[in-house]
């Protein structure tokens, strides 16, 4: 008997007809022999409506009340689903965050799940129920309702799967699965059968917006296999799994484009100890995350420092950088919003050299100038002029042959084969 957690999001639950259709799908799954937990988010648009109501009164609502209010959409959708399942002859029970309970920290609006007691869910499953858990919400140690950040139902689903030690967490989406790149940019993008948690994290944090980052982090930590599936039920979707050796044979899995960054350059700062610290400490204290940093070659004891932040943080970052720049005696701070970051991601980079060189050659052939570069164990990123971002993605997609069935690299034969258990 397999235990499956299925996440159904707002885009798959537009109205009562969708609720009935999902109920039928869930019931069919149970009748096929699985124990099924559904984690649902609010019906499409409902959370937005709740947010708008609060914001119509003030832009800065008290966050305790705000969470109490914007979590309501899930109370409706989960109860509706339970009613629909019952109406179709099944046993179902809806559960809100506090009823499970799903315990979180006290960071309203963006709370993190700390602990889930899955005993009640387990008991209900044992009794033959389909359990419908409200996504996106939890309860803090004082009994206040919290929410997990917009789109947080993915995280709830993975956390419930981890707590239940479920065999699978299925996340239904309006897409076929996870692709080699955004098909709007490169129509030859291919659906990936499998991808590792780490690669998805790189792709998601790079703006590929596949799954909520926290959900993938949690899945990685607890070893939860996520199956991203098209809501239609047709098509194989993509399995997000723990990376293994076979996956390391694939050098590049995907290409991401992030247009949501700005570049700031602090011009002519003294090249001496403590300068970078003086510049980046205030940004860190203001909770602004800095992505790429480069420091130019020093000329006559002075240097330029460039870094990127998210566009929404640019104004604040500029103020802080200007203050620091004045202290340091720098000339000025220049900003550039017209940049894009292109990244190639793949587990195989760990064991194969030359990806960066191949990437830079492709960009150079396309006449695209690289402004900044950064690398990690499984990623190479380059900042380019925004107007060439999409072109860069297409060139790289072609260069790494991502439109072909995934090329595998032959590993040198090992002395002894791997023991099969
Ligand atoms: N209903 C919430 C939102 O719209 C949570 C979710 O969709 O996952 O953000
Ligand atoms: Mg939603």
49 alpha carbon, closest ligand: 1
CA of 70 to the centre of ligand 2 (A): 11
User: The tokens of 246 are what?
Assistant: 């076979």
pLDDT at 419: 39
CA of 55 to the centre of ligand 2 (A): 17
CA of 47 to the centre of ligand 2 (A): 6
Distance between CA 79 and CA 4 in Å, rounded?
Answer: 20
Length of the chain: 421
Is 136 close to ligand 1, i.e. is its CB under 6 Å away?
Answer: yes
Let me know: does 378 contact 350? Beta carbons within 8 Å. Answer: yes
Is 150 close to ligand 1, i.e. is its CB under 6 Å away?
Answer: yes
Is 137 close to ligand 1, i.e. is its CB under 6 Å away?
Answer: no
- Strands 145-147 and 194-196, sheet pairing: unpaired
Read off the pTM. 0.87
pLDDT at 67: 98
Is 9 close to ligand 1, i.e. is its CB under 6 Å away?
Answer: yes
pLDDT at 208: 61
Is 10 close to ligand 1, i.e. is its CB under 6 Å away?
Answer: yes
User: The tokens of 225 are what?
Assistant: 């296999």
DSSP line for 31-68: HTT-EEEEEE-PSTTHHHHHHHHHHHH-SS--HHHHHH
Return residues with CB closer than 5 A to ligand 2 (ion). 10, 41, 47
Is 97 close to ligand 1, i.e. is its CB under 6 Å away?
Answer: no
Distance between CA 42 and CA 82 in Å, rounded?
Answer: 14
CA of 196 to the centre of ligand 2 (A): 25
pLDDT at 111: 97
- The residue written with tokens 């194969």 in the block is 352
pLDDT at 337: 96
- Convert 310-336 to b/e letters by CB count within 10 Å (16 or more is b): beebbeebbebbeebbeebebeebeeb
Each as own residue / partner, the long-range contacts of residues 376-380 (CB below 8 Å, 24 or more positions apart, any chain) are 376/202, 377/349, 377/350, 378/198, 378/199, 378/202, 378/345, 378/346, 378/347, 378/349, 378/350, 379/202, 379/206, 379/343, 379/344, 379/345, 379/346, 379/349, 380/343, 380/344, 380/349, 380/355, 380/356
Is 348 close to ligand 1, i.e. is its CB under 6 Å away?
Answer: no
∠ CA 194-195-198, rounded to 5°: 160
**Which residue(s) pair with 396 in the sheet?**
none
Phi, psi of 324 (to 5 degrees): -65, -40
- Average pLDDT per 10 consecutive residues for the chain, totaling 421 residues: 94 96 97 97 97 95 97 98 98 98 97 97 98 98 97 97 97 90 93 94 74 93 96 90 86 93 94 92 94 85 94 95 94 95 94 93 97 94 97 97 73 43 34
Measure the N-to-C terminal CA separation of the chain; round to a whole number of Å.
23
Which amino acid residue places its CA nearest to atom 8 of ligand 1? 151
Phi, psi of 145 (to 5 degrees): -80, 135
pLDDT at 138: 98
pLDDT at 206: 66
């Amino acid at each position: 008997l397999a235990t499956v957690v299925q996440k159904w999001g707002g885009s798959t639950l537009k109205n009562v007809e969708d609720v009935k259709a999902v109920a039928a799908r869930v019931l069919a799954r149970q009748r096929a022999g699985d124990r099924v937990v559904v984690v649902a988010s609010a019906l499409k648009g409902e959370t937005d409506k709740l947010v708008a109501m609060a914001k119509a009164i003030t832009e800065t609502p008290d966050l305790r009340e705000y969470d109490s209010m914007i979590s309501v959409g899930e109370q409706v959708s989960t109860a509706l689903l339970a009613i629909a399942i019952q109406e179709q002859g099944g046993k179902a029970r809806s559960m809100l965050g506090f009823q499970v309970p799903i315990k979180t920290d006290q960071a309203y609006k963006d709370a993190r799940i700390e602990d889930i007691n899955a005993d009640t869910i387990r008991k209900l499953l044992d009794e033959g129920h389909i359990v419908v858990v409200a996504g996106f919400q939890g309860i803090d140690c004082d009994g206040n309702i919290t929410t997990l950040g917009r789109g947080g139902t993915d995280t709830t689903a993975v956390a419930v799967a981890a707590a239940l030690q479920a065999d699978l967490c299925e996340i239904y989406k309006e897409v076929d699965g996870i692709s080699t790149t955004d098909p709007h940019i490169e129509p030859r993008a291919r659906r990936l059968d499998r991808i590792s948690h780490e690669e998805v994290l790189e792709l998601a944090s790079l703006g590929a917006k596949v799954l909520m980052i926290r959900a993938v982090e949690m899945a990685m930590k607890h070893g939860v296999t996520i199956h991203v599936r098209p809501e239609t039920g047709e098509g194989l979707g993509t399995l997000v799994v723990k990376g293994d050796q076979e996956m390391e044979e694939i050098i590049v899995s995907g290409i991401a484009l992030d247009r949501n960054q700005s570049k700031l350059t602090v011009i002519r700062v003294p090249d001496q100890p403590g300068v970078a610290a003086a510049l980046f400490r205030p940004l860190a204290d203001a909770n602004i995350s800095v992505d790429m940093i480069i420091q130019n070659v020093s000329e006559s004891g002075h240097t330029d420092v460039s870094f990127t932040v998210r566009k929404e943080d640019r104004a604040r970052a500029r103020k802080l950088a200007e203050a620091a720049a004045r202290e340091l005696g720098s000339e000025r701070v220049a900003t550039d919003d017209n940049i894009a970051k292109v990244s190639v991601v793949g587990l195989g980079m760990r064991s194969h050299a030359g990806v960066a060189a191949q990437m830079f050659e492709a960009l150079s052939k396309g006449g695209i100038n690289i402004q900044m570069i950064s690398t990690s164990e499984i990623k190479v990123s380059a900042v380019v002029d925004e107007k060439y971002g999409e072109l860069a993605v297409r060139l790289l997609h072609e260069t790494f042959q991502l439109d072909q069935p995934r090329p595998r690299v032959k590993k040198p034969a090992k002395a002894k084969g791997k023991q099969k258990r």
